[in-house]
């Protein structure tokens, strides 16, 4: 387990991190989210010992140092491949830095390229690849040595939906193999689709920390999603409805000032008859992000 306890970091007068504590458990995925400058990359750099800091960071009870670096896979936000190397040379070079033998890594390269649908051969030079394929090669470099701790800083950046799905499956595969995984993303849909746990940072402080369901449920089930023949005016007139949104024809999202009003609204709308859809739920992670780290908190 990766345990971060009372982690703080200052750069001059800037308090980049302020008493951050959370755990990343093997076989689980933790999403680290927050606005630009919230402290996500600083947290990753601290885990990797790139920075001095106050507090304690332990991997299975031991300090994170050169004795465990070979078991860590790290994808930095700023991608860093060597353009004059071939794909094979680049992957082998970085794998050898993780104490892997070239003869063990080379046979794995073609299957990994096929799995990630890289458009290129292992003899192609990095500089000849598209931006998306360069990113996939860097992901292979990060994961091919089967790390026990996987740190991914904005791994989905620049990927189209198809390649996002490929990456998600690779992350879930590493989870199934028992890796402890932490990643950052500005796309809350990606976080919701793969994460078990969530840490939300705002101005260097952890303002939310828990399982994804626990975090969402802190805000109450204040939304009702319905499908049917009503008008916005009819729905807006219901007790405790503060806002009505219409994402698609015949689909509505009702925002409530009291989640307890749900059953009464259900009875009013159905009148004992069938309706196409009625779901009461907590706000989405994207909505929570906007509430907690939006412009009002700058």
3-state secondary structure 78-113: CCCCCCCCEHHHHHHHHHHHCCCCHHHHHHHHHHHH
Instruction: Tokens 């004795």: give the residue.
Output: 67
Pairing of strands 29-34, 180-184: parallel
Q: Which of 90, 93, 133 is nearest to 114 (CA)?
A: 133
- CB contact at 8 A, 230 and 268: no
Mean pLDDT by 10 residues, the chain (298 residues): 95 93 97 92 93 92 88 88 96 94 96 92 94 90 95 88 90 95 92 94 94 91 95 96 95 95 96 93 91 69
Q: Would you say the C-alpha torsion 111, 113, 116, 117 has a positive or negative sign?
A: negative
Q: Which of 211, 218, 221, 173 is nearest to 191 (CA)?
A: 211
- CB contact at 8 A, 209 and 294: no
Measured distance CA(77)–CA(80) in Å, rounded: 9
Predicted TM-score (pTM) of this structure: 0.86
pLDDT, residue 79, reads: 76
CB burial string 22-39: b at 16+ within 10 A, e below: bbbeeebbbbbbbbeebb
């Amino acid at each position: 387990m990766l345990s971060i306890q009372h982690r703080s970091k200052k750069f001059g007068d800037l308090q980049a991190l302020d008493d951050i504590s959370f755990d990343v458990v093997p076989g689980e995925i933790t999403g680290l989210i927050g606005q630009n400058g919230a402290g996500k990359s600083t947290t990753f750099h601290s885990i990797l010992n790139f920075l001095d800091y106050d507090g304690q960071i332990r991997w299975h009870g031991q300090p994170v140092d050169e004795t465990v670096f070979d078991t860590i896979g790290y994808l930095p936000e700023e991608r860093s491949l060597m353009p004059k190397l071939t794909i094979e040379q680049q992957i082998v070079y970085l794998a050898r830095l993780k104490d892997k033998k070239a003869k063990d890594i080379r046979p794995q390269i073609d299957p990994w390229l096929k799995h990630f649908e890289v458009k290129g051969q292992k003899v192609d030079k990095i500089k000849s690849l598209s931006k998306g394929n360069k990113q996939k090669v860097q992901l292979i470099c990060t994961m091919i040595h089967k790390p026990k701790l996987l740190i991914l800083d904005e791994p989905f950046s620049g990927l189209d939906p198809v390649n996002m799905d490929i990456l998600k499956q690779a992350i879930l595969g590493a989870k199934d193999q028992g890796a402890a995984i932490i990643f950052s993303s500005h796309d809350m849909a990606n976080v919701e689709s793969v994460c078990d746990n969530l840490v939300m940072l705002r101005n260097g402080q952890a303002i939310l920390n828990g399982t994804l369901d626990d975090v969402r449920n802190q805000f109450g089930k204040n939304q009702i999603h319905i499908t049917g023949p009503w008008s916005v005016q009819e729905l807006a007139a219901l007790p405790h409805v503060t806002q009505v949104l219409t994402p698609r024809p015949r689909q509505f999202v009702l925002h409530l000032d009291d989640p307890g009003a749900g059953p009464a609204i259900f009875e009013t709308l159905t009148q004992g008859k069938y309706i196409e859809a009625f779901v009461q739920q907590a706000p989405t992670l994207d909505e929570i992000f906007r509430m907690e780290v939006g412009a009002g908190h700058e």
